[in-house]
Chains A and B, each alone.
Chain A
Amino acid sequence: MKIIILKSNFKSGLDAVGKTLGVNTNLPILSNVLIQTENNKIKFSTTNLEVAVTKIVSGKIIEDGSLTIPFSLLSNIINNINTERINLESKDNNLVIKTDNYEATIQGIDKNEYPIIPTIEGEKETLDVKTSFLKDGLSKTIVAAEVSDLRPEISGVLFWIEQKSFRLVATDSFRLSEYTFPSGQYKNGFSEEKKVTVPMRTAQEVLRIAGEDEDLKISVDETQILFATESMEIISRTIEGDFPDYQSIIPKEHDTRVIVDREELINGVKLASSFSGRGSELTLKTKNQKVVEIHSSDSSLGGNKYLISAKIEGPDTDIIYNWQFLLDGLKSDSSKEVLLELNGEEKPTTIKTPSGSSHFYILMPIRP
């Protein structure tokens, strides 16, 4: 292999794949990055055997080839080199890096010892969506996913693709977020319904790496999902086990409707959080159909109260929430006003935008 690559491209390649290295001490080659040339492009790949990320950048290919190199060593060098043009050449199993004033030789390992990155075979059907739309949907839902492995079937984001709808859903059993893509934002090429749960790590990588405005194709087989654009490919296992049937969780009715300025409410929650003590509790109260009051207190810290004027329909009510969960819901959208549908102190609260958009967040309160 003999290539010339710009530092910025090199960095972009390494940054993209840097978080999916394997920490498997049984197979040290997993902490290497695979560099290979294909179709006149340079590809960087890493994998931890659950997900594999490949970043595709441009460069000048003088001779095709491939090699795997210890990632952290390579990354350290590239971050500190200060010339733009970098020459890479593989000699036996070593990588030689040359610039105008610098030369390094790194011992690498042959590509044949590196795991084979799986593909989705034969599946020609894809769902096409722009990266910006997918990232929007993902960022609104991923916050609600289960973080630990206690319940693996919800430790990710559900991608639910039906003939007439495409949804993302995530929950940790305390809150649930669902995002429905407007039909103009995607093209569904699947002939059958697909319901796959994408591990949270993978969803985070998609959010982190996918470009701003590229065409992205999603393909799926029984055990994997592939996100592909011109400049990257992420292939990941999907989570075994069915995502719980969550439709019955969505409240069909509500007692009190509150419309309030979103930023103000976020502000109030942030202020209240300082006094919420160990339980992370804050109380949201509606008063006289006109005012929302947020208060929190802790015996060792003190207390505070924040008032916001609001449009309220329905009886006054008093609900305790985990402030972080509430904040996550409020921040997951950006409309000026936010609509809260309250159902009393023990039933789920729904957070939406008043125009009834494609996204909602449901949150369970804390028992009084």
Chain B
Amino acid sequence: MEKPVVDSTQTDELWTSVLSEIELQVSKPNFITWFKNSKLIENRDGVALIALPNNFAKEWVESKYHKLILGSLRSVNGSTKNIEYVVEGSLSQKVISRRRRNIVQSEPDEKQLAFQEMRVDPETNLNPKYSLDSFIVGGFNELAYTAAMAIVEDVGHKYNPLFIYGGVGLGKTHLIQGIGNEVRRLSNNEVGVKYVTSEKFTNDVIWAIRNRRVEDIKKNYRNVDVLIIDDIQFLGGKEMTQQEFFHTFNALHENNKQIIISSDRPPSSIATLEERLRSRFEGGMVADISFPEYESRLAIAKSKLQDRGIMLEDKILEIVAKKVQNNIREIEGILNKLVFHQITYKRPLDLITAEQIISEVTNKSITRATPNQIIKTVGNFFEISPNELVGRSRSKEYVKPRQIAMYLLRELLNMSYPDIASKVGKRDHTTAIYACKKVSREVSSDNDLSQKIIMIKDDVNKIG
């Protein structure tokens, strides 16, 4: 059972009364220097944990005032038997100033550009470039967007948690960070928001366990009003992290704190995700972002160009929108190339050159994976072993993945049918032909299947 988070007002009050006793016994300069910015973190099981702003204060207080503090504590709270001292740098006052020190440096020009990546707000970890204003809404993400807006209006009480999933480069991070930024803006930065990638969360958990600072995780992740966590599929198979996330989730949810999660696949498709987490994710609002339709792709391309203040012929944008179907990031990449070309050669880009550039890029995705790697990846996705996938069994649970594997070997590696058939269990080449045709047909009509294929392709690309 989780111990309840210690009520901090109690300890603050306790410390205030201890400090007022100490103040009477210590000279004013000493009191101000050593005890200001000190804090009683907790007083549990007879041990008081006192935090000081720097090591000098810790050394001094520990060696000169230990008995005094202990006596004071015991007179207010008899159970205290001992004191431990730690340093918490965050307690020292942050002097916000533009001190120039000794360096002669003229004020940077207001047109001086800064590193994009560093405009992130260190407290929330949100990047200001992800705003809901710049988020293009279309049929493919309307549900997710509507849920997002509802949350912004009523944080913590509308859809909690919000689980958004979809393939790579479709705007998930943009949307979830957008919610965070909007909530901050509307509340004048009062509402506490924290954005974190699952990778960072995992690293933090591991570090905390190794260094026995699990309290830090609680402090960092539970003292927020909105927790936004990206790429939760990363937690699959990581027991300890899932455990910690479970506790974090509950602590927040119980207090109506908003949780927003993104993933590249729905909760049901995340392999080795604890059932209790899966059910919690599914208990809120699950919204997918699928592939943008042509109109949306065109609108996105236009919007990105507008941001950069550059003009390209409409016809060119139409080709981009037509050719790049699966990934908004790819659209951005191609636009960059086209724009660069136009700037460098100082001439408006013509249609033919544009087409050339676009086809160069779209044809570049050659997979570097081996057939065995593809088979293994498909197997992993469906949670069956490669042996079972290429094996003789004809039960449905193996046939489906087998056919998908053959389809991918054809699509990604352009292997011949006899080669494919041979690789996937020494079968007849007609089996391979049939499998590829079947999957190909189904992909265009079955959205769920096509999503799965995209996810598997992503997994394959991650190997290369």
Q: Given A116-B60, A174-B113, A322-B108, do A149 and B89 touch, yes or no (CB 8 Å)?
A: no
- Give chain A residues whose Cβ lies under 8 Å from the Cβ of B98: 148-150
Q: A28 vs B33: C-alpha distance in the bound complex, in angstroms?
A: 11
Assess whether B99 is in contact with A249, with CB atoms less than 8 Å apart: no
Q: A365 vs B114: C-alpha distance in the bound complex, in angstroms?
A: 8
Assess whether B118 is in contact with A246, with CB atoms less than 8 Å apart: yes
Assess whether B118 is in contact with A366, with CB atoms less than 8 Å apart: no
Q: 0/1 per residue, A46-80, Cβ < 8 Å to B? A: 01011010000000000000000000000000000
Q: Which of A235, A249, A315, A322 contacts B109 (CB 8 A)?
A: A322
Q: Given A116-B60, A148-B99, A149-B99, do A224 and B55 touch, yes or no (CB 8 Å)?
A: yes
Q: A171 vs B106: C-alpha distance in the bound complex, in angstroms?
A: 17
Q: Which of B58, B99, B109 contacts A366 (CB 8 A)?
A: B109
Quick one: which of B104-129 are within 8 Å of A by CB? 105-106, 108-109, 111-120, 122
Assess whether A244 is in contact with B118, with CB atoms less than 8 Å apart: yes
A212 beta carbon closer than 8 Å to chain B: no
Assess whether A49 is in contact with B113, with CB atoms less than 8 Å apart: no
- Give chain B residues whose Cβ lies under 8 Å from the Cβ of A367: 111-113
Quick one: which of B33-88 are within 8 Å of A by CB? 33, 54-60, 63, 87
Q: Given A27-B33, A116-B56, do A244 and B120 touch, yes or no (CB 8 Å)?
A: yes
What residue of chain B has the Cβ atom nearest to residue A25's Cβ? B29
- Give chain A residues whose Cβ lies under 8 Å from the Cβ of B115: 171, 173-174, 176, 246, 249, 348, 362, 364
Assess whether B30 is in contact with A27, with CB atoms less than 8 Å apart: yes
Assess whether A240 is in contact with B90, with CB atoms less than 8 Å apart: yes
Quick one: which of B315-348 are within 8 Å of A by CB? 340, 343-345
Q: Which of B57, B105, B117 contacts A249 (CB 8 A)?
A: B117
B445 beta carbon closer than 8 Å to chain A: no
Q: Which of A223, A279, A322, A346 contacts B55 (CB 8 A)?
A: A223
Q: Which of A49, A222, A249, A280 contacts B118 (CB 8 A)?
A: A249
B96 beta carbon closer than 8 Å to chain A: yes
Assess whether B122 is in contact with A151, with CB atoms less than 8 Å apart: yes
Assess whether B55 is in contact with A246, with CB atoms less than 8 Å apart: no
- Give chain A residues whose Cβ lies under 8 Å from the Cβ of B116: 249
Q: A362 vs B122: C-alpha distance in the bound complex, in angstroms?
A: 21
Q: Given A26-B32, A280-B106, do A346 and B113 touch, yes or no (CB 8 Å)?
A: yes
B94 beta carbon closer than 8 Å to chain A: yes
Quick one: which of A53-112 are within 8 Å of B by CB? none
Interface residues on chain B, number (Cβ under 8 Å): 43
SS of A interface (majority):
loop
Closest chain B CB from A138 CB (angstroms): 15
Quick one: which of A311-354 are within 8 Å of B by CB? 315, 317, 322, 324, 344, 346, 348
A118 beta carbon closer than 8 Å to chain B: yes
Assess whether A244 is in contact with B113, with CB atoms less than 8 Å apart: no
Q: Which of B95, B100, B119 contacts A147 (CB 8 A)?
A: B100
- Give chain A residues whose Cβ lies under 8 Å from the Cβ of B106: 278, 280, 324
Assess whether B122 is in contact with A241, with CB atoms less than 8 Å apart: yes
B366 beta carbon closer than 8 Å to chain A: no
- Give chain A residues whose Cβ lies under 8 Å from the Cβ of B462: none
- Give chain A residues whose Cβ lies under 8 Å from the Cβ of B57: 49
Q: Which of A116, A246, A279 contacts B117 (CB 8 A)?
A: A246
Q: Which of B54, B99, B120 contacts A237 (CB 8 A)?
A: B54
Assess whether B114 is in contact with A237, with CB atoms less than 8 Å apart: no
Q: A237 vs B118: C-alpha distance in the bound complex, in angstroms?
A: 24
Assess whether A237 is in contact with B30, with CB atoms less than 8 Å apart: no
Closest chain A CB from B224 CB (angstroms): 17
Closest chain A CB from B98 CB (angstroms): 4
Q: A348 vs B116: C-alpha distance in the bound complex, in angstroms?
A: 10
Candidate in B63, B111, B113 with the most chain A CB atoms within 10 angstroms: B113
Q: A104 vs B98: C-alpha distance in the bound complex, in angstroms?
A: 42
Assess whether B111 is in contact with A366, with CB atoms less than 8 Å apart: yes
Place the interface of chain A in its size category.
35 or more
A255 beta carbon closer than 8 Å to chain B: yes
- Give chain B residues whose Cβ lies under 8 Å from the Cβ of A281: 109
What residue of chain B has the Cβ atom nearest to residue A368's Cβ? B111
A153 beta carbon closer than 8 Å to chain B: yes
Q: 0/1 per residue, A8-43, Cβ < 8 Å to B? A: 000000000000000010111000000000000000
- Give chain B residues whose Cβ lies under 8 Å from the Cβ of A315: 344-345
Q: Given A151-B122, A322-B112, do A344 and B87 touch, yes or no (CB 8 Å)?
A: no
B103 beta carbon closer than 8 Å to chain A: yes
B101 beta carbon closer than 8 Å to chain A: yes
Q: A317 vs B343: C-alpha distance in the bound complex, in angstroms?
A: 10
Assess whether B87 is in contact with A223, with CB atoms less than 8 Å apart: yes
Assess whether A344 is in contact with B114, with CB atoms less than 8 Å apart: no
Q: A324 vs B109: C-alpha distance in the bound complex, in angstroms?
A: 11
Assess whether A47 is in contact with B117, with CB atoms less than 8 Å apart: no
Assess whether B32 is in contact with A364, with CB atoms less than 8 Å apart: no
Assess whether A344 is in contact with B343, with CB atoms less than 8 Å apart: yes
Q: Given A237-B54, A255-B340, do A115 and B59 touch, yes or no (CB 8 Å)?
A: yes
A152 beta carbon closer than 8 Å to chain B: yes
Q: A24 vs B103: C-alpha distance in the bound complex, in angstroms?
A: 23
Q: Given A255-B340, A315-B344, A364-B114, do A280 and B120 touch, yes or no (CB 8 Å)?
A: no
Candidate in B56, B95, B111 with the most chain A CB atoms within 10 angstroms: B56
Assess whether B117 is in contact with A248, with CB atoms less than 8 Å apart: yes
Assess whether B112 is in contact with A366, with CB atoms less than 8 Å apart: yes
- Give chain B residues whose Cβ lies under 8 Å from the Cβ of A3: none
Q: A281 vs B115: C-alpha distance in the bound complex, in angstroms?
A: 18
Q: Given A174-B108, A241-B122, do A47 and B56 touch, yes or no (CB 8 Å)?
A: yes
What residue of chain B has the Cβ atom nearest to residue A321's Cβ? B112
B20 beta carbon closer than 8 Å to chain A: no
B97 beta carbon closer than 8 Å to chain A: yes
Q: 0/1 per residue, A153-195, Cβ < 8 Å to B? A: 1000000000000000001011010000000000000000000
Assess whether B55 is in contact with A174, with CB atoms less than 8 Å apart: no
Closest chain A CB from B334 CB (angstroms): 15
- Give chain B residues whose Cβ lies under 8 Å from the Cβ of A346: 113
Assess whether A24 is in contact with B113, with CB atoms less than 8 Å apart: no
A294 beta carbon closer than 8 Å to chain B: no
- Give chain A residues whose Cβ lies under 8 Å from the Cβ of B54: 49-50, 223, 237
Further 19 A-B residue pairs, CB within 8 A, beyond A176-B115, A255-B344, A322-B109:
A26-B29, A27-B29, A116-B59, A116-B60, A148-B97, A150-B98, A151-B122, A201-B101, A237-B55, A237-B89, A241-B122, A242-B122, A244-B117, A280-B106, A322-B108, A346-B113, A364-B113, A366-B109, A366-B113
Shortest 9 CB-CB contacts between residues of A and residues of B: A240-B89, A118-B55, A116-B59, A279-B109, A367-B111, A364-B113, A148-B98, A26-B29, A223-B87
A-B contact pairs, 7 of them (CB 8 A): A149-B96, A151-B122, A152-B94, A201-B101, A249-B118, A322-B108, A322-B112
Q: Which A residues fall within an 8 A CB radius of B?
A: 24, 26-28, 47, 49-50, 52, 115-118, 147-153, 171, 173-174, 176, 200-201, 222-224, 235, 237-242, 244-246, 248-249, 255, 278-281, 315, 317, 322, 324, 344, 346, 348, 362, 364-367
